[in-house]
Amino acid sequence: MFIRMSTQSNSFRALLLRMRKNLETLNAHVNTVTTRTRHELLTAEAAGRSVRRVPRGWSGSRGGVVKRFVVAGVLGAGLVIPLLSVPADAAPGDVAVSDRTYVRYDGGTDPVLAACSTNNRQQNEPTATVAAHNPALMTSGANDYCTVPNIGGNWAGFYYSADGGTSWTNSLLPGYPGDASPGGTASPLQRIGVNNAGDPVQAWDNDGNLYYAGIAFNRARPALGSIWVARYGWPAGASPAYQFTTLVERGTPSPIFLGLFHDKIQLEVDRGADSAHAGNVYVCWARFTASGPNNGVFLARSSDGGRSFRSQKVSDSVHGSQFCDIAVTRDGDVYVAWRQFEFNPDQGQMQGNAAVWVKSTNGGKSFTKPSVATGFVGWDPGDQTVSPAAYGQAKYDACLVGDGTLGTCASPEPRAFARDCGDGPLACQSGYVFHRANSQVRITADPTAAGNPDQVFLAYDGSVPGTETSTGTTYGTIAEGIGSQSSVYALNTTTGGATWSTPTRIDSQERGHQYFPDIVAEAGQLHAVWQDSRNDAAAGPGGRDFRSVPVGNIAVAANPPGAVAAAPGLGAFYATSLNGGASWTVSEVSTVRTMPQYEQFGDRDVPFFGDYNYIAASGSTVFMAWTDHRDVVPGNDPRYPVDGTDGFDVLQCRVANPDGTFGPDTCPSAGGLDQNIYGAVR
């Protein structure tokens, strides 16, 4: 079935969604989903299997029964929307947190919020909370790119639910450019003049106050990479009341990562039942000074409800430190943990990948020296670029216009090594397409449950020992050409850090990767969430398995330079333990699996799936949030005759120029960029 429609039609997505809803009824009893898209045909043919071609839009099955309905469309510029699967309705607890109508904190609106309500842009890197005093009150936040068309950068999205996660209201942190409200004009973020805010984290105190923290910056000079903490009051009622924003640390005007820049923030509030410091607010982050690995972990504390902060370095002489996290115990001890990255001897220092921690017993005034809880082998996908100069320039250009990750805003210098790969100038030598991901460390402690107050839990994702394998390409997760399986591990201390248990896998699986973990301890239970590709059909070259390729990639020699997309196979998984992590009950909480490698960034050339998931709990109520691509409308990229039809591309509308090049995407709001935050309540 084909439908011809205008590329400029604002009703395109609405019509498409109505069609999808109508077809869901027909698919209610479908248990097996198969389809024959172009990249699947290539996969079969490359493997030497015979292929019975069927009419586009249909799929065969045993007995000739059609088991999938699809929708396709032809756009006015001659582009085709490929086959679009029809997902089942989300089960209770699996809901879209973002992609709603945006309202200002005071109930008003403005042109920025009006655009956010309709432009279907990306959201990623979610946070999640459940109120300590009322588990029906939940919040989330994300890097929200709905502001890019109006302010030239992303902002901190703020989302809240007053009915236990059933329905959500979307908003933005006050202070974005164009925010003329009293709270906006009073924000220090407007005063210092930044047009980006993100890396959001949130936490409650025991008195109905929600704290929201993140970074703020400009992608071009002056960068001013700064740390902020906002406070909302929400003791009861239908919505929180924004109160103020405090500037915790201010960066320098130098370009990003070439001067003083603050990044990768975390937040916690002391809710300890027996703590002498209850109500203290703690923020940690990585501070980068110039380029290179000269970063350290810093912590700031507030004892006046977030109105002022004092900061200190807690990583001592340790370098290569990032992805910090904070836990506060029942008696008020503060733990900060982070990942220590491996250094090679030729970099002037020898250290291995490790989960490192420090501890304070005086309300964050001073900390112990850093200690290693456990070493591990990282799972850090990477590749070699096809053209270092073109890659560096494209990354730089995209970053400056709010269409790329921050690490490339410093300069257009050539980049031979890539943490993410895609099409065109952002292609890598393996030909694979993948978003960036790195092993991370999370820490938690139970603030209220009776028992051992010195028990603290750590979780991280790392390569499973013994799973190393040759990839047959330049792609690798441990080193170039060496792949591995990633899994989520947990360990704990019952002695306040004097000793740590041996790390064990939360859910040992033979197939697939587990990454982006988070963990929380509450009311005597442990809860964890992560992304899981056990149902992904990824396959490597020459019969190699999933370890040799990125998630969602199928190596196909017939489609140079080397990959087509597998069917959506990534899911959000949840685990809970009633016995301190000795055993876990695991379930998949996302009701629709996703393709994480859609090329939505870098002028539609590269994927970005954020850097983490989040989970929170209050009593027996658990809320988790993750980045999700189920609403993305896939498409073809006419700039690349081969790679533009490999299954990783999104809907875009481009007009050919007389010289054979193509103009910009003219339909960015039609669904190709509709990356969202989804959540589940348990």
Residue 290 has pLDDT above 70, yes or no: no
**DSSP code string of 3-26:** -EE-TT-TTHHHHHHHHHHHHHHH
In which order are the strands placed within the sheet that holds 371-375? 321-328, 334-340, 354-360, 371-375
pLDDT interval class at 289 (50, 70, 90): confident
pLDDT number for residue 295? 79
Q: pLDDT by residue (tens digit) across 33-88?
A: 333 333 333 334 333 333 322 222 222 222 232 222 222 333 333 333 333 333 33
pLDDT number for residue 252? 78
Comparing CA positions, the residue from 605, 624, 177 lying closest to residue 420 is 605
Q: Is the pTM above the cut of 0.95?
A: no
User: Residues 6 or more apart from 212 whose CB is under 8 A from it?
Assistant: 139, 141, 156, 158, 173, 200, 201, 202, 229, 230, 231, 232
**Could you state, in order of their start, the residue ranges of all structural domains in the chain?**
4-84, 130-251
Average of per-residue pLDDT values in the chain: 87
Are 352 and 345 in contact by the 8 Å Cβ rule? The answer is no
pLDDT interval class at 263 (50, 70, 90): confident
User: How many Cα atoms within 13 Å fall on the side-chain side of residue 473?
Assistant: 29
Segment 203-222 mean pLDDT: 95
Rounded (5°) CA angle 405-409-410: 135
Segment 473-477 mean pLDDT: 98
Beta strands in 369-436, from DSSP E residues, in sequence order: 371-375, 383-384, 417-418
Token pair recorded at residue 678: 């989804």
- H-type helices in 338-478, by residue range? 388-400
Rounded (5°) CA angle 609-611-612: 105
Residue 23 has pLDDT above 70, yes or no: no
Distances (CA, A) of 456 to 201, 255, 337, 507, 621: 21, 39, 11, 20, 20
pLDDT number for residue 349? 63
Q: pLDDT by residue (tens digit) across 237-250?
A: 999 999 999 999 99
Residues forming beta bridges with residue 196, ordered by sequence position: 217
Q: pLDDT by residue (tens digit) across 541-566?
A: 999 999 999 999 999 986 666 899 99
CA dist., res. 404 & res. 426, Å (int): 12
For residue 395, the SS3 value is: helix
Token pair recorded at residue 374: 């456990």
Q: How far is CA 625 from the centre of its chain?
A: 10
pLDDT number for residue 347? 55
Segment 125-154 mean pLDDT: 98
Phi and psi for 609 in degrees, rounded to 5? -110, 20
Q: For tokens 């709001």, what's the residue? A: 669
pLDDT interval class at 4 (50, 70, 90): very low
Segment 84-108 mean pLDDT: 74
